[in-house]
């Protein structure tokens, strides 16, 4: 699929259009702001430009939810089940990580459903993603059972932050975030985003943190340079029991693949504190609740060489 969804932001529907196999645009109309509006080619093109952000979806539950959410008769956001609202937010922010121009998730999803070719592509993409999934994913465990992220599944940053409620339409805060750590108070969770092979063109000397695997269950991680053990953030990291917080680690090999597409993160799941040394940054050893996948470990251990 990467040969199609490459850095030029092409899509399968885009290729079909270029080949003359699809004429015109979605032959349906969308109800927006209480009135019928003709769908525009510019609107469809913008949505199709986000399809590459969905090629990694391999979780059957999420794939099923995404397929349901793009159906014309999908339930309203307030009528969704226990975990489905999170999948709805993840899909919404995958398409509009800046929050979009909509006042509600229903408005954004209604707009999406108006483009039948886009919805068809989403259904096909997630079906293919599940078939291609390589790892046996599992829930996050105690304290985060309600969050439908899975250890050893892959996610983009905006999906993770939407699931952990770092941002939401209700809060008036989007999920755009570029730092390596994100505190998500709504779920009392710190999310650590680790790019193992850091590009010195994209990282300054002060952000080339040494993050690597010690063993399949132990991970060496360095905090941001401003964090000391006595700071509020440092104390939260080192004494999670007292603060009632959780920590999730997400890793990826590089920020972009050979085609120029953004590489999603693999969720390594929850971790427990083992030991630390130094400050600004703090070097911390974490113990994973679940050993990392063999391929991830091979890459994460190699960067320690």
- pLDDT-derived band of residue 305, with 50, 70 and 90 as boundaries? confident
pTM: 0.88
Q: Tell me: the pLDDT tens digits for 200-230? A: 655 555 556 899 999 999 999 999 999 999 9
Determine which of 33-37, 128-132, 163-167 has the lowest per-residue pLDDT on average: 33-37
Q: Is 130 exposed, middle or buried (0-12, 13-18, 19+ CB in 10 A)?
A: middle
Give the residue with greater pLDDT, 124 vs 261.
124
Which pLDDT score is estimated for 135?
75
Which pLDDT score is estimated for 261?
84
Determine which of 2-6, 84-88, 250-254, 289-293 has the lowest per-residue pLDDT on average: 2-6
- pLDDT-derived band of residue 28, with 50, 70 and 90 as boundaries? very low
Where do the domains of the chain lie, and which CATH numbers do they carry? 12-132 (no CATH), 138-302 (2.30.280)
């Amino acid at each position: 699929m990467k040969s199609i969804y490459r850095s030029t932001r092409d899509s399968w529907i885009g290729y079909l259009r270029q080949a003359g196999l699809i004429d015109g645009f979605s032959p349906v109309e969308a109800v927006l702001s209480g009135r019928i509006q003709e769908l525009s080619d510019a609107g469809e093109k913008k949505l199709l430009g986000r399809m590459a952000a969905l090629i990694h979806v391999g979780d059957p539950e999420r794939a099923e939810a995404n397929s349901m959410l793009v159906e014309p008769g999908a339930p309203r956001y307030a009528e969704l089940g226990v975990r489905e609202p999170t999948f709805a937010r993840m899909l919404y922010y995958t398409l509009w990580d800046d929050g979009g121009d909509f006042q509600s998730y229903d408005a954004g999803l209604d707009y999406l459903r108006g483009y039948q070719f886009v919805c068809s592509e989403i259904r096909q993409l997630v079906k293919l993603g599940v078939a291609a999934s390589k790892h046996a994913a599992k829930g996050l465990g105690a304290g985060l059972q309600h969050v439908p992220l899975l250890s050893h599944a892959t996610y983009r940053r905006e999906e993770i932050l939407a699931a952990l409620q770092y941002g939401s339409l209700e809060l008036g805060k989007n999920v755009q975030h570029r730092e390596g750590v994100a505190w998500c108070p709504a779920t009392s969770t710190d999310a650590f985003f680790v790019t193992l092979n850091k590009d010195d063109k994209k990282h300054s000397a002060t952000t080339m943190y040494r993050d690597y695997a010690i063993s399949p269950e132990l991970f060496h991680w360095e905090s941001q340079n401003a964090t000391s053990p006595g700071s509020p953030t440092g104390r939260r990291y080192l004494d999670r029991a007292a603060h009632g917080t959780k920590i999730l680690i997400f890793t990826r090999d590089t920020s972009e693949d050979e085609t120029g597409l953004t590489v999603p993160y693999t969720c390594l799941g929850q971790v427990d504190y083992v030991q630390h040394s130094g400050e600004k940054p703090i070097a911390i050893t974490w113990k994973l609740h679940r050993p990392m996948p063999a391929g991830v470990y091979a890459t994460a251990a190699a960067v320690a060489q």
